[in-house]
C-alpha cells in the first residue's frame, strides 16, 4: 500500500511558541524537526508522495523538489489539513512535523500497522494527543488535532495503533515523541534525534532506544 504523507507546517515565526527559547532558535529547531521528518518519509517503505500544507510562502525554498507544497491559511490546523486532504486521493497519512526522533524504520512500522484498519492513529507520548492519523481513503479522513485529540479521534472511530512486539513498541516510541516544550526536547534527545536536530542542538545523535 502506498500512502500520501500530509504534513502541516506553520510559518517559522509562529512555530514552537511553547518552547522557552529565543524566536530565532525556535525557528531553527522547527526547521530541523521538519528536515528530519521529511528525511524519514523519503526513506520509508510505503510513502508514495509527500505533501506539505503550510502558510509559509517561502517553504518551497527549504524543501526538496519531491515535496509538493499546498499553500493555505492560516485558518487553523484542522481547516488547513482539510484543505490539503481535498487534493489527495487514496490512502493518506497525516504526520506531525515536530517528530525529531522519527526514522524511516519507525515510520514504516507505523504504516504497516495502520494497514489493519480503515482509519487509525498514533497517540503522542503523553497519551492525550495525536502525532499521526491514517485513513485508507483520504475522503474519509477528518482531522481533529488539538486539545485531547486522542479522545476525539477514538470517539470518531479511529483505531489506536498498538505495537505487536517489543521491537515495534520501541519503534513506535519514536513516532509518539512530539516536541512542544523544553522537557519534550530533552526526552527526544534521550530517545535519539535525527541529524538535522542533532546539529541544531549541537549534540551527537543519541540512540538510547533501538531503531
pLDDT tens-digit series, residues 119-166: 999 999 999 999 999 999 999 999 999 889 999 999 999 999 999 999
DSSP 8-state secondary structure symbol assigned to residue 60: G
Cell of residue 154, nine digits: 477514538
> pTM (2 decimals)?
0.91
Averaged pLDDT for residues 67-95: 93
Q: Which residues pair with 160 in a beta bridge?
A: 121
- Read off the pLDDT band of 206 (50, 70, 90): very low
Residue pair 74/10 in contact by the 8 Å Cβ criterion: yes
Q: Is 38 exposed, middle or buried (0-12, 13-18, 19+ CB in 10 A)?
A: buried
CATH pick for 3-201 out of 2.50.20.10, 3.90.550.10, 3.30.565.10, 3.40.228.10: 3.90.550.10
Residue pair 207/191 in contact by the 8 Å Cβ criterion: no
**How many percent of the chain have pLDDT more than 90?**
73
pLDDT tens-digit series, residues 177-195: 999 888 999 999 999 999 9
Residue pair 107/175 in contact by the 8 Å Cβ criterion: yes
Residue pair 179/188 in contact by the 8 Å Cβ criterion: yes
Q: Is 82 exposed, middle or buried (0-12, 13-18, 19+ CB in 10 A)?
A: middle
Q: How far, in Å, CA of 185 to CA of 177, rounded?
A: 9
Angle at 71 (CA atoms; ends 30, 68), nearest 5 degrees: 80
Q: Is 166 exposed, middle or buried (0-12, 13-18, 19+ CB in 10 A)?
A: exposed
SS3 breakdown of the chain: % helix, strand, coil, rounded to 5?
A: 40, 20, 45
Q: Is the dihedral of CA 96, 82, 46, 196 positive or negative?
A: negative
pLDDT at 210 over 80: no
Locate the domains of the chain by residue range. Answer: 3-201
Residue pair 44/2 in contact by the 8 Å Cβ criterion: no
Amino acid at each position: 500500500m502506498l500512502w500520501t504523507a500530509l504534513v502541516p507546517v506553520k510559518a517559522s515565526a509562529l512555530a514552537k511558541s511553547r518552547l522557552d527559547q529565543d524566536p530565532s532558535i525556535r525557528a531553527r529547531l522547527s526547521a530541523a524537526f521538519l528536515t528530519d521528518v521529511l528525511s524519514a518519509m523519503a526513506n520509508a517503505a510505503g510513502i508514495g508522495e509527500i505533501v506539505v500544507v503550510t502558510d509559509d510562502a517561502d517553504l518551497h525554498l527549504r524543501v526538496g523538489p519531491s515535496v509538493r507544497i499546498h499553500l493555505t491559511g492560516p485558518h487553523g490546523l484542522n481547516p488547513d489539513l482539510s484543505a490539503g486532504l481535498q487534493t489527495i486521493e487514496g490512502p493518506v497519512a497525516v504526520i506531525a512535523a515536530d517528530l525529531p526522533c522519527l526514522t524511516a524504520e519507525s515510520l514504516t512500522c507505523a504504516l504497516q500497522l495502520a494497514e489493519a484498519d480503515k482509519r487509525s492513529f498514533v497517540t503522542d507520548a503523553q497519551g492525550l494527543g495525536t502525532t499521526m492519523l491514517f485513513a485508507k481513503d483520504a475522503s474519509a479522513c477528518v482531522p481533529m488535532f488539538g486539545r485531547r485529540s486522542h479522545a476525539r479521534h477514538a470517539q470518531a472511530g479511529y483505531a489506536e495503533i498498538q505495537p505487536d512486539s517489543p521491537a515495534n513498541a520501541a519503534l513506535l516510541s519514536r513516532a509518539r515523541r512530539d516536541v512542544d516544550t523544553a522537557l519534550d526536547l530533552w526526552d527526544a534527545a534521550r530517545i535519539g534525534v535525527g541529524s538535522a536536530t542533532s546539529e541544531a542542538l549541537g549534540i551527537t545523535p543519541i540512540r538510547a532506544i533501538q531503531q
